[in-house]
Amino acid sequence: MKIEIIPAIDIIDGKCVRLSQGDYQLKTIYNENPLEVAKMFEAVGLKRLHLVDLDGAKAHHIVNQKVLESIAANTNLIIDFGGGLKSDEDLKIAFESGASMVTGGSIAVKSPEIFIRWIKKFGVDKIILGADAKNEMIAVAGWQESTGTDIFTFINNWHSKGIKKIISTDISRDGMLQGAATELYKKILLTVPDAYLIASGGVSSMADILELQNAGIPAVITGKAIYEGRITMDEIREFLN
């Protein structure tokens, strides 16, 4: 089965940016108009979009919902939205602004009772677990804090509570274009074989995506490789056809 390619748009000050290893000091602005970028993705046949509110992640509440609203209103992309979602009100705004799904990472670690409430209130299909790890240990707070919990225990725990969709980022690789952590994802799938695992971080070429596909990983997020021209729209179009 073909792996699902999910392009990423990260937002700071309403602009499309990328960070390296989550460092706000290592920021590159790629486009002043995220809607333009989203339309380019849709035009080649991509169906999904991973939209991250980096201002929201810093502020601990939703900030860039206008960007979400604009992309949702002007494309047919299925958008999963994340970054600083901490309250039921944040989720309400995200869904009303056009998100199909939301991602929660730090909240699942620090306030599991809220995350459980979201699963019950909004439904398991609308909630994605963010499992960001360094050296196989879960990290939170913009990746500044390691939790002492290993990623396999963490994912298994939430999977047992109904979570099916998981975005896992290998922090050491994120934005570094050094290849995906394929071995880590294979180990995660051995733990939860029926999960919809979305690999994130490190993708540098179509060869990396094909390696993940060959390993049986259902989906992959890629951002910087596209913006840096290492994966072209023509390559994506050809892959999708």
CA-angle at 70, arms to 65 and 75, nearest 5°: 130
Task: Please give the pLDDT value at position 21.
Answer: 66
Cα separations in angstroms, 22 against 19, 139, 141, 143 = 5, 11, 10, 7
| pLDDT < 70 positions in the chain | 21-22, 141-147, 173-176
Task: Please give the pLDDT value at position 55.
Answer: 93
Please give the Cα distance from 241 to 21 (Å, whole number). 32
- What does the domain layout of the chain look like in residue ranges? 4-240
Catalytic residue among 10, 80, 170, 174: 10
Catalytic residue at 194?
no
pLDDT of 211-234, one tens digit each?
A: 999 999 999 999 989 999 999 999
Sign of CA dihedral 45, 15, 94, 160: positive
- pTM across the whole model: 0.92
Task: Please give the pLDDT value at position 28.
Answer: 85
Catalytic residue at 23?
no
Task: Please give the pLDDT value at position 141.
Answer: 56
Please give the Cα distance from 20 to 38 (Å, whole number). 21
Catalytic residue among 53, 55, 132, 170: 132
The CATH number of 4-240 is: 3.20.20.70
